[in-house]
Amino acid sequence: MYCPHCNAELPVQNSAFCPYCGKSLQSSQPDNGNPYNSNPYAGNTTNSPVQDTPYQNRRTGPSQMEFQSVLKSLNTMTILVIAALVLSFIPYLNIIGYLLLLVILVMSLYLTGRTKRIFDLTDYPVYSKIVAGVKTKCVIILVAQIMLFVGGFCSAFVLTPGSGDYTGIIALVAVLLICSLVALVLEIYCFVRLFTVKNAVTQLSMGMDIPEKPAGGGIIIAAIVGVILLVGIAVVGIIAAIALPSYARYMATARYSEITAAADGVRIAVEPCYQDTGSLDACSTGTNKQGNGWRLAERPEDYRTKYLARIEVKKGVITASAIQGNGLRGANIIYVPVPRGKNLEWQVSRESTCKKHDLC
């Protein structure tokens, strides 16, 4: 079967239009009410009836040049989408992926109009609505990306965590998370529909019929649900990465209060020792010293408790050491007495390792 306009051999029998010159292959009007008098297809020597196709009522279909132009743009967009997805997971290159996504969104606003025209001319309203929906979703994604950029700028240069007002920061982070989640779901939908539209346009350019309604709705839903689950797992992981260390540090500080409380009890014993003896030289552990209302242990390990390893007193200087486990890391706190007449003034030494671990 050959085209009556360009004499090219048609790849598909009973095509509605020529894929080479783009001209319609249907007869204009049947003569005298007889649909078999005119031959709508060149090279067809039999008067076979004209097949009803989705293009039957179409006056002029898209040209082959228009098909090729749209297909070339769709292929380019597919490559750009894959490149943007890959770059978004590479450190220091994800900003390029973000900019590439903005370029794709701007391109889609123009390309969806051209693609919709093809489906309008070939009488596929369902595909036309899909393309129109993709355009709307691309606009939403573009607005969400702009909001993310503006919100990130505000969080980096406007809001200061040290101001004491965290309400604005929390609200901004919530808005950014919602925008990013909406944009991600819509991007997945548009990415799947991109391949659906591309395959449909390819088949139409070859003169082939396509289903009135595309499949793949279940695939889109499964993909969106899967991504939402992945995002949820990532959010939980981020929260855990932030909250668990803070909780562990809080618990370690609470446990270390047992060490400081025990050291305070020993300080109460050193003060009357100094008052009774008039000197700090005799106020040490290992001497088994005791007096009126006070007593120093014979060994440093005699003070041991659940989280306290030992307390050593040497000439009034108290060194209380924690155990190694439970996040305490054997940190010690050193109290240095400074005589002020008959009383003592206590100072925490800079050599205390509890300051290094933020425990005191």
Q: Which two tokens stand for residue 303?
A: 């003070």
What CATH number labels 251-348? 3.30.700.10
pLDDT value for 41? 41
Each of the 360 residues of the chain gets a pLDDT tens digit; together they read 667 777 667 776 666 777 767 677 754 334 444 444 444 444 444 444 444 444 434 446 788 888 888 899 888 888 888 888 788 777 777 788 888 888 888 888 888 888 998 888 888 888 889 899 888 888 888 888 888 777 777 766 555 544 445 566 667 777 777 777 788 788 888 888 888 888 888 888 888 888 888 766 666 666 667 667 766 776 777 777 777 788 888 888 889 999 999 998 888 888 888 888 888 887 888 766 777 777 888 888 888 898 999 999 888 899 999 998 888 888 999 999 988 888 888 998 888 898 888 888
For residues 204 and 210, the answer to whether their CB atoms sit within 8 Å is yes
3-state secondary structure of 63: coil
Phi first, then psi: what are they for 339, rounded to 5°?
A: -65, 130
pLDDT value for 243? 76
pLDDT value for 39? 41
Q: Which residues pair with 105 in a beta bridge?
A: none
pLDDT value for 319? 92
Q: Where are the domains of the chain?
A: 1-61, 64-215, 251-348
Q: Which two tokens stand for residue 270?
A: 């050193």
For residues 61 and 16, the answer to whether their CB atoms sit within 8 Å is yes
Q: How many CA atoms lie within 13 A of 3 on its CB side?
A: 19
